[in-house]
Amino acid sequence: MSLPVHPAPWSGPGAEVPPARPAKRPPPAGAPRRDAPLTATLWLTGDDHGCAGARDFTGRTLAAWELEQCRDDALAVVSELVGNAVLHARPPTPADETAFEARLKLTLRPRHLVCAVTDRSDSLPLYRPLTSPLQEYGRGLHIVEALSEHWGWTRGNPTGKTVWAMLPTRSCP
């Protein structure tokens, strides 16, 4: 089981993609390292465009961060995390959908890309065993587990939760 990761604070309600990092020369021996994480945040709505918007946002962010080698895995993980939030954390009646709020946060750390989705629901993610190789539902967290180095969830304060996955940036296929 993975240990909880506490990503850096949210960067705000905007969907700003940080600029691409310029090519760097290695620092001289003994120089201090600059390993400050980069973050990008997208606020999500409960409509059908949320997942597509999250995939587009993730693709643009990874291109800006020059992480195209991680694109396919990150898009699959983000699709599953956002899809689960929209499916399971959205209010049951359409009139309440305007109250639905979730956010996708991408954090680039020295060796990992952290994909985290936060919603207001207190329902915890369910990792159900697969009972059939042809099972149609309940595979999302299995996909997240297969593509990430670590994944897990943390409770929000006072309500909600964040489900996150860490993808290695150096060994992405």
Structure tokens at 14: 């905007």
Q: Which of helix, strand or coil describes residue 163?
A: strand
pLDDT band at 159 (very low <50, low <70, confident <90, very high): confident
In a 13 Å sphere around the CA of 8, the CA atoms on its Cβ side amount to: 15
List pLDDT tens digits, range 106-147. Answer: 999 989 999 999 988 888 777 677 677 766 666 678 889 999
Candidates 3.30.565.10, 3.40.50.920, 3.40.50.300, 3.40.50.1000; CATH matching 38-168: 3.30.565.10
- Report whether pLDDT(12) > 50: no
CB count in 10 Å sphere of residue 124 = 11
Give the predicted TM-score (pTM) of the model. 0.72
Q: Are 125 and 159 in contact (CB under 8 A)?
A: no
Q: Tokens for 67, please give them.
A: 């992480």
Show me where the domains of the chain are located: 38-168
92 or 127: which leads in pLDDT? 127
